[in-house]
Amino acid sequence: MAVTIDGKQIAEDVVSKVKLSAAELIEATGVTPGIAVVIVGEDPASQVYVANKGRKARECGFHSVQHTLPEQTGEEELVKLVETLNADPAIHGILVQLPLPKHIDSGRIIQTISPDKDVDGFHFINVGKLGTGELETAFVPCTPEGSMLLIDRILGRDLSGLNAVVVGRSNIVGKPMFNLLLAHNATVTIAHSKTKDLPGLCRNADILVAAVGRPQMIKADWVKPGATVIDVGINRIPAPERGEGKTRLVGDVDFADVASVAGALTPVPGGVGPMTIAMLMANTLVAAHRSVGKTPPRF
């Protein structure tokens, strides 16, 4: 039976380190790590995410600012707000909550954020640094960064000799996950909807990362015995057993099935999810350290 990787506990460990390091930075320099979250419109899921991020930032002792803009906000107005935040020395991390309304070019907004404050890791400069192995100065997207930390806790930082397969090629998870695994010396394959014999490819993986957005797609017969399986998926499916109209969250991995084969496995919820916000706090702390020429902590 697979070891269940407790993302909640590991995220709490990260947040505890962030709190301690933030307090030390404030005492040593007078600089309080600052994060600004910008949300446009009233998407319910985005509202929940933003509230959670703000709450966690305050818990860490950060200066936390939220800008809530109406749905009809123009692109130029949003650009000006981001440029103002870029110039604000009290703000070290800027996060624009996606998705944005259709009339706003998300790519333009992301590239307007200063790379030094891009704690989401989406700016082309940070993408390029990650792709060329400059991890010491890059900001890495929080979900793959958190997933990598979970892998580190199970297998260690050096993955030499291990085969990794990433299912999914998104810019937010799949591609950065590929680069992180490569930087840790794994032999990495990235798979997607056009991949031939996907189950066969997955069966060769010592590390299998599922980030495809299809509920419970990965079954036990896709998984190499003893493999470490990281489930990035979060899908809501009907749960009639809970009552009419009820739903439940599941990942891209069929947890109950795969747990009989894998060596270690993340649950959904409670696996990768908590790590995402924890790593956002860690990235903001790192940005604050860099802003005053201090060596940031490692996570």
The single residue of 97, 116, 231, 254 carrying the catalytic annotation is 97
**Is the separation of the CB atoms in 164 and 206 below 8 Å?**
yes
Burial class for 193, CB neighbours closer than 10 Å (0-12, 13-18, 19+): exposed
Peptide bond between residue 296 and the one before it cis (omega within 30 degrees of 0) = no
197 tagged catalytic: no
Q: How confident is the model at residue 265 (pLDDT cuts 50, 70, 90)?
A: very high
Token pair of 188, please?
Answer: 């990495």
* Domains 30-116 and 142-274 equal at CATH topology level: yes
Coil, strand, or helix at residue 250? strand
Place of tokens 């996950």: 177
Of 166, 133, 170, the closest CA to residue 151 belongs to 166
| pLDDT for 239 beyond 90 | no
30-116 classified as CATH 3.40.50.10860 = yes
**Is the separation of the CB atoms in 250 and 257 below 8 Å?**
no
Token pair of 257, please?
Answer: 């099935």
pLDDT computed for residue 245 by the predictor: 82
Q: Which CATH class is domain 142-274?
A: alpha beta
Domain ranges within the chain, ordered by starting residue: 30-116, 142-274
53 tagged catalytic: yes
Backbone dihedral angles phi then psi of residue 148, each to the nearest 5 degrees: -65, -35
95, 96, 171, 287 from 121: Cα distances, Å: 10, 12, 10, 12
Q: What is the pLDDT of residues 272-290, one digit of tens each?
A: 999 999 999 999 999 999 9
Q: What is the mean pLDDT of the chain?
A: 96
The single residue of 17, 53, 129, 175 carrying the catalytic annotation is 53
The CA distance from 70 to 252, in Å, is 34
Coil, strand, or helix at residue 175? helix
Q: What is the pLDDT of residues 190-199, one digit of tens each?
A: 999 899 999 9
Lowest-confidence pick of 47-51, 58-62, 100-104: 47-51
**CA angle, residues 55, 60, 61, in degrees to nearest 5:** 100
The CA distance from 286 to 280, in Å, is 10
Lowest-confidence pick of 102-111, 137-146, 245-254, 286-295: 245-254
Q: What is the pLDDT of residues 138-179, one digit of tens each?
A: 999 999 999 999 999 999 999 999 999 999 999 999 999 999
pLDDT computed for residue 45 by the predictor: 81
The single residue of 56, 116, 117, 120 carrying the catalytic annotation is 120
Q: Go through the chain and tell me how many residues it has.
A: 299
pLDDT computed for residue 197 by the predictor: 96
pTM attached to this predicted model = 0.95
